[in-house]
Amino acid sequence: MTPPGPGLRLLAALLALGTGVGCPMDPCRPHEPAALFDDTLFGVGQPLELQVPPVTNRCESSSQGAPEHVTVEVKDPHNRPVAATVALHGNGGAAVVRFTPELKGRHHLIVSFSPVGSVRQSAIHVVEDRGQQAPVAELSTVVECRSVDRTTAGTWLCGSSALREPDQEPQPLGDAFAPTVVAGNVVWVTEASRVLRYVDQGSGPLPPPDTAPFPVVGTPTAAAPHSRLATEDALLLLDDTHLHRYAYTAEAGLRTTGSVLLPHPRLATFGDMPSLLLRAGDRLLVVRIAEEATLRNFVSEACPYQVNAEGAPEAVPDEPCHQVPGLPVGYEEDVLWAHAGSAPEQLTLHRYSAASGRLVLEGVLSMNAPFQAQGPSLRPGFGTPLVFSPRSVDAHYTLPSWDAETQTLELTLLPSPNGFKPPRVGARYFHSERWNSIYGVKVYARQSTP
């Protein structure tokens, strides 16, 4: 039997959303009832049992009477009717609505009471539910992971620590907060003054790495380079002012092959917002906040680069930077997530693809308040924003993702184990850490991960 979704767990608390209208002290005037389920996320295919209170004026309850009849209408995202039943609970109490949403997307609920009780309406946000997904690993010997990944041979990476087995004592690979990036069986670690390249040989701890110094033209005093892209034999590294490239060969070892100065070097103006490096087909894109950006007009700028025949990064000749609306709030290897607009009543996420060599708008996710987007810290590496409602009884976090088949952005409810922080979503895995000091990190696979 399918376990109940988060909607059923919310029923008791949702009753507190208001039995309608309160009674002010003086004068006694009715006011609008509280919202119903607009801030709740329900799982697709989950049987729902929702209690909808009528609108009553307690100041006139003795003469007003109670609802005697009730009807319900549920429409799916295509405005088609959904089979639903409704009945009054007790003597003129709340209406109990039962139905099973079979499509993802925004549904519309209308409950009509008579002769009193008014009409109650609500949005019903239906999403894919992976809340019961089991973790693929529990890293029981670590306290904090700024990022999680895994080599092809099976070694787990928790930040700059390696674990051959999830319950093994971690092997430090670099400074405590040194960013890492995994490519196959190669682990690249970036410290403040050097780059390290480890190779997973399939058993035991990772052997000593090849190393190369951080280029003197860069900014080794920065807290961490902003962004990294890697293959097993090459690393692209972006700092405040330059784009660097490292390459490894058996003959020459690990060495830098060149650096290029970025135009208009500047630090981000919106807090600790790093520059980002995306793979754009045969090119690269350096994405930063544009000079024209303001708190009410978010603008990002993408500048194209390439690797020349000598292996050095360079700007693409005769091709200017281009701008797109939105403030970066997440990125994947060839995807930029941006928050567009500043209207407090509207959440708008843009997903840009970089595969064609430029940022191309692929999808837009718009949701009315109270939903918010929570972007991860981007210096540790790839990260996708989460969407949640801070007003919901259970603040479940959802992952926005691109559905190539339907050409839409959709949300997926993620596991929310008790006692664990909100998840951080990386390129192939997402993980949750405990709130307290007890060891434990739960790691889950993203859908694209075998």
- Number of helices and strands (H, E) in the chain? 3, 36
In angstroms, the CA 197 to CA 74 distance is 57
Return the closest-CA partner of residue 52 out of 12, 87, 96, 113.
96
Kindly report the number of other CB atoms within 10 A of residue 261's CB atom: 10
Is the pLDDT reported for residue 267 higher than 80?
A: no
* pLDDT per residue as tens digits for the range 55-79: 876 665 555 678 899 999 999 999 9
Cα 281 from chain centre: 24
Res 404: pLDDT? 85
Residue 384 DSSP code: B
Q: Is the pLDDT of residue 328 over 50?
A: yes
Per-residue pLDDT at 298 exceeds 90: no
Residue 174 phi, psi (nearest 5): -170, -165
Structure tokens at 364: 């837009």
pTM, two decimal places: 0.85
3-state secondary structure of 140: coil
Q: Which residue has the tokens 């939903």?
A: 371
With contact defined as beta carbons under 8 Å apart, do 46 and 129 qualify? yes
Q: Which of 45-54, 301-310, 338-347 has the lowest mean pLDDT?
A: 338-347
pLDDT at 372: 87
pLDDT over threshold 60, residue 115: yes
pLDDT of 224 reads 60
Q: How sure is the predictor about 295, in pLDDT bands with cuts at 50, 70 and 90?
A: low
Average pLDDT, rounded, for the chain = 85
Average pLDDT over residues 33-40: 78
The residue-averaged pLDDT of 312-316 equals 96
Q: Write down the residue that tokens 């895994």 correspond to.
A: 150
* Tens of pLDDT, residues 179-208: 999 999 999 999 988 999 999 999 999 999
Task: Please name the helix (run of DSSP H) or strand (run of DSSP E) that holds residue 390, with its range, or none.
Answer: none
pLDDT confidence of 143, banded at 50, 70, 90? confident
Determine the average pLDDT of the residues in 109-119: 92
Pick from 421, 384, 378: nearest CA to 400: 384
Which residue, among 10, 74, 63, has the nearest Cα to 39 in the 3D structure?
A: 10
pLDDT tens for 44-53 read 999 999 999 9
SS3 420: strand
Q: What is the share, in percent, of the chain residues with pLDDT greater than 90? A: 60
CA 270 – CA 326 distance, rounded (Å): 13
Fold exhibited by the domain 6-127: Immunoglobulin-like (2.60.40)
Q: In the chain, pLDDT over 70 holds for what percent of residues?
A: 82
* Angstrom distance (rounded) from CA 99 to CA 122: 14
Give the pLDDT confidence score for residue 36 in this predicted structure.
86
- Supply the pLDDT for residue 263: 80
396-450 pLDDT, tens per residue? 899 999 988 888 899 999 998 888 889 999 999 999 998 876 778 999 999 754 3
* Cis-peptide, bond into residue 115, ω within 30° of zero: yes
Q: Would you list the DSSP string of 153-171?
A: T--EEETTEEESSTTSPPE
- Note the pLDDT of residue 264: 66
Mean pLDDT of the region 235-243: 91
Position 19 scores a pLDDT of 35
The pLDDT of residue 32 is above 90: no
- Specify the pairing of strand 119-129 against strand 84-88: unpaired
Q: Which residue has the higher pLDDT, 230 or 289?
A: 230
CATH 2.130.10 residue ranges for the chain: 137-445
Q: Are 210 and 231 in contact, with CB atoms under 8 Å apart?
A: no
Amino acid at 199: V
pLDDT at 159 over 80: yes
Can you tell me the distance from the alpha carbon of 155 to that of 135, in angstroms, rounded to the nearest whole number?
16
Instruction: Return d(Cα 82, Cα 80) in angstroms, integer.
Output: 7
* CATH 2.60.40.10 domain position(s) in the chain: 6-127
Average pLDDT over residues 84-92: 87
Q: Where does the pLDDT of residue 300 fall: very low under 50, low under 70, confident under 90, or very high at 90 and above?
A: very high
Among 165, 152, 244, residue whose Cα is nearest residue 199: 152
The CATH number that domain 137-445 falls under is: 2.130.10
- Paired with 106 in beta bridges are 125
Torsion sign across C-alpha atoms 42, 44, 47, 53: positive
- Report whether pLDDT(8) > 90: no
- Whole-angstrom distance, CA of residue 217 vs CA of residue 260: 9
User: How far is the C-alpha of 89 from the C-alpha of 413, rounded, in Å?
Assistant: 30
Amino acid at 167: D
